[in-house]
Amino acid sequence: MQAITAKRLFIFVIAVFSMSLLVGCAGLEKRPADRSGYLYYPTALVNADRALDEARMAGKDKACPAEFNDAKDMVDKAYETYMACNTQEAIDMAQEAIGKIKALCPARPRAEIKPEPVIILASEPKVEEKVIAIVSEPKVEGKVIILALEDIHFDFDKSTLTKEAQVILKRNLQLLKENPKANIRIAGYTSASGTDAYNQKLSERRAKAVKDYLVEEGVVTPDRLSKIGYGEKNPEMYEAAPKDLYSKAAKANMRVLFEISVK
């Protein structure tokens, strides 16, 4: 009877040992192909191996090899701990390793680059040309400054102010009223299209159109105003293709500037 009992106990132990080889201490998922030991391991350990593979495919083993190898050693240690039947400790170690793997080779913060101030050109009908005024401070003693005005458009190859241009000028007359001692020079420009002589005359006509309007509005007396035409000289932007009448550069160069001298 005792012999039979001992034999049954031996068979039970063998069965338990065989199951442990198949399942381990707490098997949950089939082991990775490059792992030995049990056929099944807790999911956390298998996930740690997957995270290592993804990091390796992303090149992090070469980008930061020291940190990658530390994380890999922790994953290997988690498997060893599990093989010793310390299941929870192994799972905790694997989860910590996953966190380290995800944090490998963090992107370096980029230095903030402040954009240079730019002049935004309003959308422009193809048949119109533009007057641009540059923003500056209107009240500076003894300096030449640029008056802040909105963009104004001319019809193509014309110097007559449109109704829209007159509305915009009226909105900006207040700046002239705030500077009663200011002397104003109105400078006209053109794009590179056309001959030098023609563009010179066109720029002078545009400057005169603005001057005449300011005088008619009674805001500035004629003795405070002067005008000059620069034609296509001193362009705002270089025109690589002067025949392109509506290029960005051409539109930027069809302009009038208001130079204010405050004494």
* pLDDT, tens digit, 9 for 90 and up, residues 78-102: 999 998 889 999 999 999 999 999 9
For domain 128-262, give the CATH superfamily.
OmpA-like domain (3.30.1330.60)
pLDDT at position 9: 58
**pLDDT of 17-41, one tens digit each?**
445 444 444 456 888 888 888 888 9
In this predicted structure, what is the pLDDT of residue 157?
80
Q: What is the pTM of this model?
A: 0.44
Distances in whole angstroms, Cα of residue 51 to Cα of each of 12, 58, 74, 100: 39, 11, 12, 10
* pLDDT > 50? residue 232: yes
Tell me the range of 50-54, 160-164, 174-178, 183-187 where mean pLDDT is highest.
50-54
Amino acid at 120: I
- Which residue stretches of the chain are H helix? 2-23, 43-57, 60-63, 65-83, 87-102, 163-177, 196-216, 248-253
Please tell me the predicted confidence (pLDDT) of residue 69.
93
Tokens of 250: 């051409």
Residue 3's pLDDT is 58
CA distances from 87 to 25, 94, 95, 124 (A): 7, 11, 12, 72
Q: Report the 10 Å Cβ neighbour count for 66.
A: 7
10 Å CB burial of residue 123 (0-12, 13-18, 19+) is exposed
Q: Mean pLDDT of all residues in the chain?
A: 76
Q: What is the mean pLDDT of the segment spanning 49-69?
A: 91
Q: How confident is the model at residue 170 (pLDDT cuts 50, 70, 90)?
A: confident
Q: Where in the chain is the domain with CATH 3.30.1330.60?
A: 128-262
The whole-number pLDDT of residue 22 equals 45
Query: How do residues 130-165 score in pLDDT, each as one tens digit?
Result: 554 444 444 444 455 555 556 666 777 888 888 887
Q: Which residue has the higher pLDDT, 1 or 194?
A: 194
Q: Tens digit of pLDDT for each residue in 116-127?
A: 555 544 444 444
